[in-house]
Amino acid sequence: MTQPDTASDLLIDPFQRRVNYLRLSVTDRCDFRCVYCMSEHMTFLPKVELLTLEELDRLCTAFIHMGVEKLRITGGEPLVRKGIMTFFEGMSRHLDSGALKELTLTTNGSQLARFAQPLYDAGVRRVNVSLDTLDNDKFADITRWGRLPQVLKGIEAAQNAGLRVKLNAVAVKGFNDGELFDLTQFCAERDMDLTFIEVMPMGEDIENAARLGQFWSLKDLRNDLAERFTLTDLSERSGGPARYVRVEETGQKIGFITPLSHNFCESCNRVRVTCTGEIYTCLGQEGKSDLRNALRADTNSNEPLNAAIRAAIGLKPKGHDFDYSRQDVAGRMTRHMSHTGG
């Protein structure tokens, strides 16, 4: 069975939102140490804790049978997971059957020069690349371990392979506020979409005071952009948190993800699964359920897994609790963004 048989196979949460988008983190490891995401001496999970590639395949297949149509692979850095192309190649059967409409990933771009073509061959057509600055030194500062030319090469390789690229830039006050127009122009010249993301309070070992200092409201960012360009609000929503504008002068589309200053939860269509098989039904809440035991309970039947997925969806909360309105970072998540994959 590749398509949901009846409406009852679909995943509907308690607020009547249909879950058709799965974000799967395939590793917590990364070759960068972005300051807003990880501490420099991050401790990673032992390898035995991770779901195997076969288990990741079974898990995604179960979700797809329950109506998931969009699968985004993330991490950590998804392209540093050993053997990950085997997983992508396996998923392409669901694209071929029509059950899966989109197979995509969010990446830091460091490995794209190597993987762009195989990803395209597996049916990926679009990648989101995280890039906050076009300045070599700043890039090395914010990612701690990353090098900009490697990422730029990756982006070029992705475009040459035929992949559509969207840049995600985290807006950090006092860091990339001077690069608003450079980033916009960089994307316009290359026909890439661009989305700005507000910093979210994740990871208890990342300094609170520093984080509050980093907060750059996208409302301010949009106003800065509007001083130079004519912006037209677009009504289109991807079912996700981004709101889009068209820049009339360049024709490009720019998105804003403002989880803290705007509530988009009423149309939420997604859940996240970590590389250890925990399902988080909301990025902004601590609530999680385990799928790994169910996955391993019976390797011949998916019944325990299907039941565990349904039970988890039945607990999906209405929305997040992030709140920057007080001087402390209330509603902060203790886990890291790399744990759930953003």
Ligand X SMILES: Nc1nc2c(ncn2[C@@H]2O[C@H](COP(=O)(O)OP(=O)(O)OP(=O)(O)O)[C@@H](O)[C@H]2O)c(=O)[nH]1
Binding site for ligand X (CB under 6 A): 72, 106, 128, 166, 168, 197, 200, 238, 240-242, 257, 259, 268, 270, 283-284, 320, 342
338 lies in the site for ligand SAM, by CB under 6 A: yes
User: What are the start-end ranges of the H helices in 122-207?
Assistant: 136-143, 148-160, 180-190
CA distance 140 to 220: 26
Provide the minimum distance between the beta carbon of 166 and ligand X in the complex, in angstroms, as a whole number.
Answer: 5
- State the minimum distance, in angstroms, from the CB of residue 197 to ligand SAM: 5
The one of ligand X, ligand SAM, ligand SF4, none whose footprint includes residue 222, by CB under 5 to 8 A per kind, is none
By Cβ distance, which residue is nearest to ligand SAM? 342
- Helices 136-143 and 148-160: angle between axes, nearest 10 degrees: 100
Residue 199 binds which entry of ligand X, ligand SAM, ligand SF4, none, CB below 5-8 Å type-dependent: ligand SAM
Q: How far apart are CA 225 and CA 231, in angstroms?
A: 8
Binding-site residue ranges: 23, 30, 34, 36-37, 72, 76, 106, 130, 166, 200, 265, 268, 270-272, 282
| Nearest alpha-carbon partner for 113 in 76, 146, 145, 151 | 151
Contacting ligand SF4 within 131-190 (CB under 6 A) = none
Closest CA to 314 of 287, 333, 336, 335: 287
Beta bridge partners of 104: 72
61, interface contact from ligand SAM, ligand SF4, ligand X, none, CB < 5-8 Å by kind: none
* CA 235/CA 238 separation, integer angstroms: 10
Residue 319, binding choice from ligand SF4, ligand SAM, ligand X, none, Cβ under 5 to 8 Å by partner class: ligand SF4
User: Which residue has its beta carbon closest to ligand X?
Assistant: 342
Contact 195, 240 (CB under 8 A): no
Binding residue for ligand SAM, selected from 75, 255, 277, 284, defined by CB under 6 A: 75
Question: Is 194 a residue that touches ligand SAM (CB under 6 A)?
Answer: no
Binding mask 249-288 for ligand SF4 (x = CB under 6 A): ---------------xx--x-x-----------xxx----
Q: CA-CA-CA-CA torsion for 63, 68, 69, 74, nearest 10 degrees? A: -70
| Integer CA distances (angstroms), 113 to 83, 87, 149, in order | 16, 19, 11
Enter the DSSP assignment of 161. Answer: T
Binding residues for [4Fe-4S] cluster: 30, 34, 37, 265, 268, 282
| Residue 319 binds to ligand SF4 (criterion: CB under 6 A) | yes
**Residues whose CB falls within 8 Å of the CB of residue 49, separated by 6 or more in sequence, listed in order:** 275, 276
Q: Does 71 bind ligand SAM (CB under 6 A)?
A: no
Reading phi first (left if > 0) and then psi (alpha if -120 to 50, else beta), residue 20 is in alpha
241 contacts ligand SAM (rule: CB under 6 A): no
Q: Using CB under 6 A, list all residues that contact ligand SF4.
A: 30, 32-34, 37-38, 75-77, 108, 130, 241, 264-265, 268, 270, 282-284, 319-320, 337-338
